[in-house]
Amino acid sequence: MTDKRSEKRDALRTKIIALAQKRIAAHGLSSLRARDLAAEAGCALGGLYNMFEDIDALVLEVNARTLADIDHVMTRAVQANPPAPQQLKALAHAYLSFAREHPLSWRALFEHHLPEGRDVPDWYSESLTHLMARIAQPLALLRPDYTPDVLAKRARTMFAAVHGVVSISLDNRFVGLAPDTLDSELERFVDVLLVGSTHH
């Protein structure tokens, strides 16, 4: 039998992350409370701080899992739509769908900020980079002339643009686009990007 210590430790840690994930998905990042989590996980308040540096560290764990979920739906989208332009359109729609189906988890990705002077850990940056690579893959087919560096930049810019459109469309601050026209608006927008990106 292996360490009973690290066993229980890992079990609790995993449980807390799952609970935080559920709570964020159901009521948003701002509803996350140390006391609620501890009570629901069945440990003392201070116990959380044995598992995580602080609440921010816990949020990073949850957000990394959300990123993995997004990567999953994006991977499926690419696989199901062979020609490169269709793949990029499918990626945009997959991103929009995820944002719509899991709005609070998705918003938590961008709402959350580490306190001044603290940088995101490398493992988190890498999962972002990994997501960008999903976009770079079909874009490389469309623009074989791009060097790896340029390709990475363009993929990131394309993601940023689509994210911006999705983000502002789902933001209730801005006067609404009817939700059902959003799909077609995004479709048209990706067409603009594709035409502009390939027509030299």
Cα 143 from chain centre: 26
* Contact predicate 2/34, CB 8 Å: no
* Contact predicate 134/84, CB 8 Å: no
Residue closer to a copy of itself, measured from CB, 22 or 174: 174
Counting Cα atoms < 13 Å in the Cβ hemisphere of 55 gives 16
Which residue in 28, 49, 140, 143 binds DNA (CB under 7 A)?
49
Please count the other Cβ atoms lying within 10 Å of the Cβ belonging to residue 20.
Answer: 25
Does position 161 interact with a copy of itself (CB under 8 A)? The reply is yes
Which residue in 82, 113, 130, 187 binds a copy of itself (CB under 8 A)?
113
Does position 27 interact with DNA (CB under 7 A)? The reply is no
Does position 163 interact with a copy of itself (CB under 8 A)? The reply is yes
- Give the amino acid at 84: A
- Least distance from C-beta 32 to DNA, angstroms? 6
35 binds, among a copy of itself, DNA, none (CB under 5 to 8 A by kind): DNA
Spatial distance between the Cα atoms of 117 and 61, rounded to a whole number of angstroms:
19
Token digits of residue 92: 């945009």
Residue closer to DNA, measured from CB, 55 or 182: 55
Residue closer to a copy of itself, measured from CB, 50 or 184: 184
Opening angle at CA 136, ends 102 and 190, nearest 5: 65
Spatial distance between the Cα atoms of 148 and 70, rounded to a whole number of angstroms:
23
User: How many residues bind to a copy of itself according to rule CB under 8 A?
Assistant: 40
Token digits of residue 190: 């990706």
User: How many residues bind to DNA according to rule CB under 7 A?
Assistant: 23
Q: Which residues bind a copy of itself (CB under 8 A)?
A: 28, 30, 111, 113, 116, 119-120, 124-125, 128-129, 153, 156-157, 159-165, 167-169, 172-175, 177, 181, 185, 189, 191-197, 199
Q: Which residues bind DNA (CB under 7 A)?
A: 3-6, 8-9, 12, 32-35, 43-51, 54-56
